[in-house]
Amino acid sequence: MVMRKAVAASVAAAVVATSIVSAASAAPAAKTVAAVQAQQSTFTVNGNAVAFRVVTKNGETLVSVRDLAQAIGANIAVNNGALTVTLNGHTVEVKLNAKQLTADGAAVSLKQPIQLVNGSTYIALRPFIAGLGGTVALNAGQISVSTVQLLEGAENPRFVNASTLLVSTIQEEGRTDYLVDTATGKSEVLMTSTDKSDLVVAPNGQQAIFSDNEGLLYLINLSTKAVAKLSDDNNIKPELVWSPDSGTVYFLQGDKGSVIAKIDVTSGEITKILEDKVDYKSSLNVSADGTQFVYAVTTLGKVTADSTNVDEDNVDIDFSANQIQIFSFDSTVKDGKPTQLTKGTDDKIFITSADGKNAAYVSVPNENSNAVLVAAAADGTTKNLYGAHDVLESVQYAGKLYVLAANSDTENGIYEVTASGAANQLYAVSAEVSSIVVSESGIAVVRDGSILVKNGNSWTAVTK
């Protein structure tokens, strides 16, 4: 389909060139620029390297309309000597020797008039592409053109591999999951659903797991998009964590997250690991060998009124009893019991663990103090790791901690923080960046609703 469109554009462009040359011959104002010579230059167009004929006029580079049309698959028509180009619902109209173009009905000024050189039409790249709804950027010295229609309102980015992100959009009727090319932003629908949990991508990037509102588990093949039920067990499974070898998934079981269990993704066999009748577990972390576990337990407020009917409006609840504490559990110890790692009453968010014994979390003491990255050791001691700036988020990957912190009112910083508390700023980003994703495949951020991926020395927006 794309090849046929490109061929059609090429044929149309050839017709356009002939038509414009004829028009130029009939009108004295449209003369070929003999003093300017065309040269070859290579740009990146929607992720592919494409050779263009270009000319330079008064320090500005103009690009062959024919070559540009072939590269982006635009439709071209000639009407009364004017060239009309359409792409993705946008229309640009140009005329030879004019110092403006018309984009979707609005006039756009040009520094250089549209040129005719050796029978081919040339135009400034950036305003022409912008009129067609695309963008032009300079990445590592290479001009990059994108005319891909980006997803709008996507969230929850997850790397499938270095070239693909999994993202989601939420509508009133449900959720749609997409696979997005990290170089171009080109997207394709993976799955639509109304009652499915977020997809959790396996480390091998080949499949993802999810559950439905009945607690049933499913696998989706990220290449074929085929979905297969993994188990008939209908206990609610609020959290899913893959093993490094993509062969096992760990989860919390029950509507209150009381049990830690695992499932073999080949056989579908479920094994309970910890059933201590402690409710409201969350933030499950598992060691690489699947024997050590770190998780949080939330204790709820206590009813202080005489009545125990909590549906009554006059029931008093003491919310000061609300606490989140972090625990570790060693499944290799016979009849072993969980160990409490924290005792403080501070709010604890973004809880992570690399080994299932020690933990890191973001402590939020109160609204007037900076949030701090804290380490909780297996012996129950805690230590502040990073608090130079207000911590907005912390993630862990491959045993390393990464922090998004508010450097100032206009700038956030992405830091790598060591176990000793040494912090190295990796990137300075906009204060609009609200979330980060770090994996072996790369780093992505969410900025004001858009998802951007680090490509070389620049950030590439892959959604809008």
Q: What is the pLDDT of residue 22?
A: 34
Phi and psi at residue 69, to the nearest 5°: -60, -45
What contacts 14, CB < 8 A, 6 or more positions away? 66
pTM of the shown model: 0.80
Tell me the C-alpha distance between 298 and 296, whole Å.
7
| 3-state SS assignment for residue 197 | coil
Domains of the chain as residue ranges with CATH? 2-146 (3.30.457.10), 155-390 (2.140.10.30)
Contacts of 217-222 with C-beta under 8 Å, sequence gap 24+, read 217/249, 217/263, 219/265, 220/190, 220/191, 222/160, 222/166, 222/179, 222/190
Low-confidence spans in the chain with pLDDT less than 70: 1-35, 301-321
Query: What is the pLDDT, as a whole number, of residue 8?
Result: 37
Dihedral of alpha carbons 379, 383, 385, 389, sign: positive
pLDDT tens by residue, 370-427: 999 999 999 999 999 999 999 999 999 999 999 999 999 999 999 999 999 999 999 9
Q: Which of 66, 81, 80, 89 is nearest to 9 (CA)?
A: 66
> What local confidence, expressed as pLDDT, does residue 137 receive?
83
**Residue range 54-100, pLDDT digits in tens:** 999 888 989 999 899 889 999 998 888 888 999 999 999 999 999 99
Task: Report pLDDT for 31.
Answer: 46
pLDDT at 26: 35
Longest CA–CA separation in the chain, Å: 98
Pairing type for strands 75-79 and 82-87 reads antiparallel
Q: Which residues does 414 contact at the CB level (< 8 Å), separation at least 6?
A: 402, 403, 404, 425, 426, 427, 428, 429, 436, 443, 445
Are 202 and 208 in contact, with CB atoms under 8 Å apart? yes
Q: C-alpha distances in angstroms, 175 versus 11, 77, 153, 170, 215?
A: 41, 40, 12, 5, 18
